Amino acid sequence: MAGQPVHSLLSMLWAARKTHLRFIAGALPHAEAPVYVIGNPSADLDSMICALVYSYFANRSSRCHIPLINIPQVPSGPELCRLRPEFVKAFWISTNSGDPTSEPAGSLLQNHILTVADFAEHLKQRGIDCDPGPHRRYAADAVLVDWNALPIPSSDGQKGKGSLDGLPMVEFTVVGCIDHHVDEGFLGPDIKPLVIEKAGSCSSLVVNTLNTMGLWTPSDTEDRFPEEEPVARLALAPLLIDTVNMNAKDKVTVIDTEAWEFLRRILDSAPSAWDRDAYYRQIHETKSNSLDLLTVDEMLDPRLLDCSKSRQSAGLSGCSVWVFCTA
């Protein structure tokens, strides 16, 4: 898959999961080890979609990139549908027709989405549990999107190395970062891409960075891959939500406007009609009603508090009122 033009988003995600399983089984040579693209622990709409969109186009480079959804408590499937319905809505609209129901949407996620909980379970099935010891620890490369510091620093103090909550048996080396929060000083030198700038939505930075890297270039010709349309639609979801349909003047930056114009050009030239306002309303309504899907215990869980109060930001996080977040 790596190094070849990516086809549909779903085929890329399906292949990425297969590559992940081969990697942890030790069936890949070192040169073919994947790069995991990891969003922040809030696992909000922006963070999750940034991981998918960046991975899709980064797979046109020399290495396989695998989006890893940073939720250690929940595997992909029906529970993820319930906890992140706004993501499911955007993902479904971008890849399917009609409205999602819990069963087909759950199956869609199980076959195409990888969470930290899934990763940990896959390792457990191979006899590697929470405390594997230094000689049984996996090493993997990572690109961080919508954050810039891993929560568990490397035991040897090396910059840019660490682990995730719920996945201490894997030490990641950060090889790239795209973020719109305050730089926490975690990253090592000479990583690429390295983009930490103010923006209303991190998805805007991801879109523009992919363009700058030559992985997603503008085109007004028939040479454009038709498979890019659903990815553009998906990338647009967090941008519209975080900027209130591009109407929040205190949130919209030049970076957001540039990304919006890029995505609009793709969608306007697509054969299928689209309605930006209707799309925004669908995602916004689903997100607004998401609290109704939580249990009482989940509503009282401190991990589901408003992370906008506990995270410094160089821009605007766009977090919802309930998200898994760190203190």
pLDDT tens across the length of the chain (327 residues): 444 445 899 999 999 999 999 999 999 999 999 999 999 999 999 999 999 999 999 999 889 999 999 999 999 999 999 989 999 999 999 988 666 666 688 999 999 999 999 999 999 999 887 665 655 679 999 999 999 999 999 988 899 999 999 999 999 999 999 999 999 999 998 899 999 999 999 999 999 999 999 999 876 545 566 889 999 999 999 999 999 999 999 999 999 999 999 999 999 887 777 899 999 999 999 999 876 666 667 666 555 443 333 333 444 333 333 333 332
Single out the residue of 267, 255, 252 nearest to residue 208, CA to CA: 255
Alpha carbons 92 and 317: distance in angstroms, whole number = 23
Output DSSP code: residue 226: T
Tokens of 63: 């290495």
Going by C-beta distance under 8 Å and a sequence separation of 6 or more, which residues neighbour residue 105?
78, 81, 88, 92
Instruction: Find out whether 223 and 213 touch, Cβ atoms under 8 Å.
Output: no
Rounding to the nearest 10 degrees, give the CA dihedral for residues 196, 202, 205, 209: 90
Residue 11 confidence (pLDDT): 95
Q: Does 275 fall in a domain?
A: yes
Q: Does 88 fall in a domain?
A: yes
Alpha carbons 187 and 173: distance in angstroms, whole number = 9
Task: Let me know how long the chain is.
Answer: 327
């990338």: which residue's tokens?
Answer: 235
202-212 and 45-58 helices, crossing angle to 10°? 10
- Amino acid letter, 139: A
Going by C-beta distance under 8 Å and a sequence separation of 6 or more, which residues neighbour residue 147?
39, 40, 41, 47, 179, 181
CATH number for position 246: 3.90.1640.10
3-class DSSP assignment, residue 76: coil
Alpha carbons 55 and 281: distance in angstroms, whole number = 27
Number of domains comprising the chain: 1
Alpha carbons 183 and 203: distance in angstroms, whole number = 17
Residue 289 confidence (pLDDT): 83
Q: Does 249 fall in a domain?
A: yes
pTM beyond 0.85, yes or no: yes
Alpha carbons 83 and 249: distance in angstroms, whole number = 30
Alpha carbons 71 and 47: distance in angstroms, whole number = 11
Single out the residue of 35, 75, 83, 27 nearest to residue 55, CA to CA: 35
- Tell me which H or E stretch contains 235: helix 228-242
Q: Does 171 fall in a domain?
A: yes
Residue 227 confidence (pLDDT): 87
Sign, CA dihedral 7-12-18-24, equals positive
SS (H, E, C) 173-220: EEEEEEECCCCCCCCCCCCCCEEECCCCCHHHHHHHHHHHCCCCCCCC
Q: Does 313 fall in a domain?
A: no
Q: Does 180 fall in a domain?
A: yes
The parent domain of residue 244 ranges over: 9-307
H helix intervals, the chain: 9-24, 45-58, 78-83, 85-95, 102-112, 116-125, 202-212, 228-242, 254-268, 276-288, 296-300
Single out the residue of 69, 65, 76 nearest to residue 43, CA to CA: 69
Q: Does 137 fall in a domain?
A: yes
Distance from chain centroid for Cα 175: 16
Q: Does 134 fall in a domain?
A: yes
Alpha carbons 312 and 62: distance in angstroms, whole number = 34
